[in-house]
Structure 1
Amino acid sequence: MSADPDPATTAEAPWPVRTVALKVSKWIDRLGAVWVEGQLTQVSARPGTGTAFLTLRDPAADVSLSLTAPAQIVRGAAPPLAEGQRVVVHGKFSFYFGRGTLSLRVDEVRAVGVGELLARIERLRALLAAEGLFDPARKRRLPRLPGCVGLVTGRASAAEHDVVTVATGRWPAVRFRVLNTATQGVQAVPQILDALETLDRDPDVDVIVLARGGGSVEDLLPFSDEALCRGVASCRTPVVTAIGHEPDTPLVDHVADLRAATPTDAAKSIVPDLAEETAHLEHLRTRARRALHAWVEREEAALARLRSRPVLADPLRAVATREDEVAGLVVRGRRVIDGGLRERDADVRHLRASLTALGPAATLARGYAIVQAGGEVSAPVLRSAEDTSPGDVLRVRLADGAVRARVEPAE
């Protein structure tokens, strides 16, 4: 498209409303006819009128279009058009010059068949799986005993009754915060997303259950909606889904942290059974009691074995044994010492006898004498007669005493 050749507007030269409306109408006319897919949220074909008014919504975004169509197209549609139905329409955009509104003038409406819906769900399944939203590693473990359970379900539904009744029957102390929403139709996805966001922000809610009874493929379409799947994946609180029955597996089941086959199974998965827990606790108590008794018996047996040992049975026996050994050693020591003393005494006597026999006193006793040159005790011993002169005084030591003598000249 080429740029508009008209000059730009200014504050001094503005365009009138009719000029703007005309230009917008021209631009819209250039778009031509288009095929559009969406979900019908409003179908109005009043009797006696030639034009029907419809609203087409994008299931994955909060965007809507106003449609106008010949009334016979709406009345003659097979199957009949209804709110919540997926359709593909063909038409051309029209800009109503007088009101300044935009609508799509439809000349053909086709209902999206179940086979095509399932094919689109499979394509979305592949996309979400490639992004890792189905990865088991991202799924969180449910709390062992939640204090408060958030429940998103239809008002006065059998699913709500099953979840609340079974859960409170299993664990009477469990509390519920129930938010009722539409579970099919055009309002289901936005209401469920609002409820999930509300419960996810509540710090008291430990786990969220998204429950619905069974239904047709068309009834369960909101639970394969891309926006709902991404909303469940973004929840910080663990989410349990119980959508339909065992064969029903919408995409939200793959994104949730746990998929339950039925609302009853969901109730069983979020809370333990009080009777089973009580029996299990009693079993653990019995095992603990037996283990404690066995441990006490083992310790008592070990103590008995320790007490039976001689050192503990008669502690003084070792002392008495050592006392006898010490007494024997003392006796042996005394004997050794006495023998040594006797041997040393004999040696001393022998040495004394030897000294006595070899000493000067013994020699003197046999008649010998020691002659000292001089009368003093300290005088030198006279060893030769030549060392004396007539008249010298000598000191003669005998065995029993000493006498003095004088040297006389030899005759």
Structure 2
Amino acid sequence: MNSARPESSRPEPLRPESPAQSTPPPNSADHPWPVRSVALKVAQWIDRLGSIWVEGQITQINARPGTRTAFLVLRDPAADMSLSLTCSPRLLEESPVPLTEGSRVVVFGKLSFFTGRGTVSLRVTEIRPVGVGELLARIERLRALLAAEGLFDPRLKRPLPFLPRSVGLVTGRASAAERDVLKVAQSRWPAVRFEIRNTAVQGPTAVPQILTALRELDAADDVDVIVLARGGGSVEDLLPFSDETLCRAIVACTTPVVSAIGHEPDSPLSDHVADVRAATPTDAAKRVVPDAAAERALVADLTERAAAALRRWVSREERVVAGLRSRPVLAQPWRALDERANDVDRMLAAIRRDVRRVVDADGTELAHLRARLTTLGPAATLARGYSVVQRVTAGSAPEVVREVGEMPPGTQLRVRVADGAVRAAVIGKDK
């Protein structure tokens, strides 16, 4: 805040008022606040924040010779937000490290609201450049944090498609990395398609632009893999690719991401959270698309190997069949039958002999039983002069008579003898 304001802009002192006017009316459409009151209240609220430390990247420096105030713009590395700074030109001149646009700094100052223009500025009294050592220490702390959360776990890495429909490429405009990726990929697979998003790859605007490009490519249905490509550089140049927001965005992508940042010794955090780390942009191009010539050679080699394997299999099976055909059982299949024919004939003769013997023995026994049965049967008895007397009653079968009392005079009888039967009637009884 400015120490001296025009008299008209200062808050009016409180004056004794009548009881009817002791309470100010509430703010409403009928009782609006004037602009000066709102501006003064905002200035008072901002003034309560006091002095604060702020970190960011310098994106603009305006320090004209002979002026008493230098104007700077401090930008958040991971968001499209900035803050205006004012300071003494001596702070810039006496900095142990030359401050340029893109320098990462920590400043100490107090926010001021300029009521005349309605703007907020941070009046800086101290500027501390963030050195390479501090940047590396912060990266290591962030590396340990992300590793503890499991974002480096190999089980989270998604495999790259064998032949992507389209490759998303996030790189600097007209950069060597872009030329390397396109040249190598098209030489390996001429039909490859690219969705290119040119962004800043260093400086304070790099992270927001890369995040936007990642979201667009991840949402595209035909993009099967995304490549982040950048050439080599200093620690400060590669700093955006170790930003926590960018690392978490890479992990959140549903499309596989290849990180090809810098050269082999460079190792930003994006290499660890990405699904595949490529040593260079050229290596990334080799990983995302296959080599057509190599694939054709591989197909030809596999075809030849398959044909050779088939020929070996046929030869082996032919030898097996020849071995089977040379065996006696297949060379002379009837020999075993001929050898067993005599055994079969001998067994048949033995079976017939045994059957005849059993039949003859049973025939003899049957004849004996028939003779005994004939001797003991009623026909033989009748042949010896005996007869069978039966009483004939109308409506019933004849009944054998055993006693004289069963044949009263007049009883009709049937007398059976050896050669037939006669009918008779009882005319009397003899004692």
Q: TM-score, normalised by structure 2?
A: 0.71
Aligned to 1:10: 27
SS at match of 1:133: coil
Q: Which amino acid aligns with 2:134?
A: E
Corresponding pairs, count: 348
Q: Which amino acid aligns with 2:158?
A: R
Matches of 1:342 and 1:23 in 2, distance apart? 140
Aligned to 1:304: 322
1:198 aligns with 2:226: no
Provide closer, same or farther for how the CA distance between residues 98 and 318 of structure 1 changes in structure 2, counting only shifts above 3 A: same
SS at match of 1:132: coil
Provide closer, same or farther for how the CA distance between residues 83 and 311 of structure 1 changes in structure 2, counting only shifts above 3 A: same
Residue identity over aligned pairs, in percent, reads: 64
1:236 aligns with 2:254: yes
Q: How far did residue 325 of structure 1 move?
A: 4.3
1:125 aligns with 2:167: no
SS at match of 1:192: helix
* Structure 2: stretches of 5+ with no match in the other structure: 1-21, 369-382, 387-431
Aligned to 2:422: none
Any idea what the Cα deviations from partners look like across 1:60-111, whole Å, max 9, x if unmatched?
Answer: 3343212122345446655443222111222221111122221112233232
SS at match of 2:305: helix
Report the aligned-residue RMSD.
3.3
Indicate conservation of the 8 Å contact 2:53/2:107, yes or no: yes
Aligned to 2:19: none
Provide closer, same or farther for how the CA distance between residues 51 and 339 of structure 1 changes in structure 2, counting only shifts above 3 A: closer
Q: Which amino acid aligns with 2:40?
A: L
Matches of 1:338 and 1:9 in 2, distance apart? 137
| Most deviating of 50-59 and 71-80 | 71-80
Aligned to 1:220: 238
Matches of 2:106 and 2:25 in 1, distance apart? 39
Q: How far did residue 39 of structure 1 move?
A: 1.1
244, 268, 272: which is aligned to 2:290? 272
Q: How far did residue 209 of structure 1 move?
A: 1.1
Matches within 5 A, 1:321-340: 321-328=339-346
Q: How far did residue 218 of structure 1 move?
A: 1.1
Matches of 1:185 and 1:198 in 2, distance apart? 21
Aligned to 1:283: 301
SS at match of 1:206: strand
Any idea what the Cα deviations from partners look like across 1:3-59, whole Å, max 9, x if unmatched?
Answer: xx9867332444322112112212222332222211112222345644332221222
Matches of 2:267 and 2:332 in 1, distance apart? 80
153, 157, 165: which is aligned to 1:147? 165
Q: Which amino acid aligns with 1:266?
A: A
Aligned to 2:103: 85
Matches of 1:214 and 1:379 in 2, distance apart? 145
Provide closer, same or farther for how the CA distance between residues 334 and 187 of structure 1 changes in structure 2, counting only shifts above 3 A: closer
1:251 aligns with 2:264: no
117, 121, 132: which is aligned to 1:103? 121
Matches of 1:37 and 1:290 in 2, distance apart? 69
Larger Rg: 1
Aligned to 1:354: none
Indicate conservation of the 8 Å contact 2:76/2:204, yes or no: no
Q: How far did residue 319 of structure 1 move?
A: 4.3
Matches of 2:253 and 2:323 in 1, distance apart? 63
| Most deviating of 71-80 and 225-234 | 71-80
Q: How far did residue 336 of structure 1 move?
A: 7.8
Matches of 1:72 and 1:228 in 2, distance apart? 36
Matches of 2:358 and 2:277 in 1, distance apart? 103
Provide closer, same or farther for how the CA distance between residues 72 and 338 of structure 1 changes in structure 2, counting only shifts above 3 A: closer
Matches of 2:384 and 2:280 in 1, distance apart? 141
| Most deviating of 327-336 and 233-242 | 327-336
SS at match of 1:296: helix
Matches within 5 A, 1:55-94: 55-74=73-92, 77=95, 79-94=97-112
145, 155, 161: which is aligned to 2:179? 161
Q: How far did residue 157 of structure 1 move?
A: 1.3
Matches of 1:173 and 1:218 in 2, distance apart? 37
SS at match of 1:312: helix
Matches of 1:379 and 1:23 in 2, distance apart? 161
Any idea what the Cα deviations from partners look like across 1:299-342, whole Å, max 9, x if unmatched?
Answer: 22222233233333233444444544445556667788899999
Matches within 5 A, 1:255-404: 255-328=273-346
Indicate conservation of the 8 Å contact 1:50/1:72, yes or no: no
Indicate conservation of the 8 Å contact 1:83/1:186, yes or no: no
Matches of 1:178 and 1:307 in 2, distance apart? 69
Indicate conservation of the 8 Å contact 2:80/2:205, yes or no: no
Matches of 2:118 and 2:186 in 1, distance apart? 57
SS at match of 2:223: coil
SS at match of 1:208: strand
Indicate conservation of the 8 Å contact 1:39/1:87, yes or no: yes
Provide closer, same or farther for how the CA distance between residues 325 and 87 of structure 1 changes in structure 2, counting only shifts above 3 A: same
